[in-house]
Amino acid sequence: MNFNKKVQDLLTLALEEYSNIFLVELKISADKSIRVTLDGDEEVNVKDCINISRAIEGELDREEEDFSLEVASAGVGSPLKFPRQYFKNMGRKLEVVSKEGLKYEGALTKVSEDHIELEWKQREPKPIGKGKVTVTKNKTLSFDEISQTKVMIKF
């Protein structure tokens, strides 16, 4: 069995014990540097990362393969890649870029298996008379239309 396949199988097996944690990204470089990025339906803590790391590292033989292993949780600024990540960010402000290059910023108000809905307030000219009025806007985007999504952090 080749090294990459063995690492993938070990990771899959390790994640079976954690139904609330899922793989976001697995990178294995030519020099056998392994980088595992995880996310969860709630949170991924340091202990979870250590346990997954030990499950992989414990089954690999450093005498056969010289490797490095890093297991981490998806960072706050990491783009959302899977519908499962959107569910845990309900109500948070997102920046979504469509495949056409249009940018939307709004609160995530709805998530389904195939689309999301954003809501935001915007100032627009009054239909009659001078001045502006604040209106609520909504945008529904299917996951197929989305190029990138990031959670906007408030300080």
* DSSP reduced 3-state for 145: helix
Amino acid at 145: E
The DSSP code for 143 is G
Sign of CA dihedral 64, 67, 73, 79: negative
Q: Which residue ranges make up each domain of the chain?
A: 3-73, 83-151
Return d(Cα 43, Cα 39) in angstroms, integer.
Answer: 7
**Residue 67 contacts residue 34 (beta carbons within 8 Å):** yes
Beta strands in 1-155 (DSSP E): 21-28, 33-40, 68-73, 93-98, 103-111, 115-125, 132-142, 146-151
3-73: CATH topology: GMP Synthetase; Chain A, domain 3 (3.30.300)
The CATH number assigned to the domain with range 83-151 reads: 2.30.30
**Could you read off the pLDDT tens digit of each residue along the chain, which spans 155 residues?**
689 999 999 999 999 998 899 999 999 999 999 999 999 988 899 999 999 999 999 999 888 889 999 999 998 788 999 999 999 899 999 999 999 999 999 999 999 999 999 999 999 998 888 899 999 999 999 999 999 999 998 87
